Amino acid sequence: MTTPRTWTGHVFIATSVDGYIARPDGGLDWLTDGPAPDGDGGYSEFTAAIDHLLMGRGTYETVAAFDPWPYSRMRVVVLSSTLSTDDDRVTVVRSLDDAVDFLTDAGAERVYVDGGRVITSCLAAGLIDDLVITRVPVLLGAGLPLFGALPADVRLESLAAAPIGGGMVQERYTVVR
């Protein structure tokens, strides 16, 4: 990264109380089959200010089948060293450095970063500015973790925490530099 970053990175994600974003097989029943939050839990307000979405291959393979495609209002960048696709709704980049360069060249302003592995990589690289974490009231005991290993502590500042309906709790944090 030689060019100054033009954009900020934002996380908006739901996890179990024990920190999983999906079951080991990717299953989301624990998220979708229970009580829903009030409205959409703030998702449309969050995405209204987003221009680009950066996700990993795992997330892409889950959402590729969604009909209609849920990301019409933002440009979608998929980070994968192996994915080959003719899906013209997305741009594939091969490394995090390439993603940063692409987003910066594209004049991105607010980037939604999604998926546990990509979120952790971006946290490690100092590319995340704030996080909205919605805790779903269940302990799964196993699954795909929201957070992984980091090279150093990432200090946060807690902005808010409140119930949002459906038994869910939403926490808002900014990353302290």
x/- string (CB under 8 A) for its own copies, residues 117-136?
A: ------x---------x-x-
In the complex with its own copies, the residue whose CB is nearer, 39 or 141, is 141
How would DSSP label each residue in 55-92?
EEHHHHHHHTT-SS-TTTTSEEEEE-SS-----TTEEE
Neighbours of 124 (CB within 10 A): 16
**Binding region for its own copies (CB under 8 A) out of 3-11, 57-65, 88-96, 151-159:** 151-159
- By CB under 8 A, is residue 57 in contact with its own copies? no
- By CB under 8 A, is residue 11 in contact with its own copies? no
**Binding region for its own copies (CB under 8 A) out of 44-52, 88-96, 97-105, 162-170:** 162-170
- By CB under 8 A, is residue 33 in contact with its own copies? no
DSSP SS3 for 46: helix
Neighbours of 30 (CB within 10 A): 18
Q: How many residues bind its own copies (CB under 8 A)?
A: 35
Query: Applying CB under 8 A, which of residues 65, 72, 151, 177 lies at the interface with its own copies?
Result: 151
Q: Residue 102 Cβ, how far from its own copies at the closest point, in Å? A: 26
Query: Applying CB under 8 A, which of residues 5, 13, 19, 106 lies at the interface with its own copies?
Result: 19
Distance between CA atoms of 43 and 170, rounded to whole angstroms?
11
Distance between CA atoms of 136 and 13, rounded to whole angstroms?
10
For β-strands 52-56 and 75-79, DSSP reports them as parallel
Query: Applying CB under 8 A, which of residues 3, 68, 84, 162 lies at the interface with its own copies?
Result: 162
Give Cα 40 to chain centroid, integer Å: 16
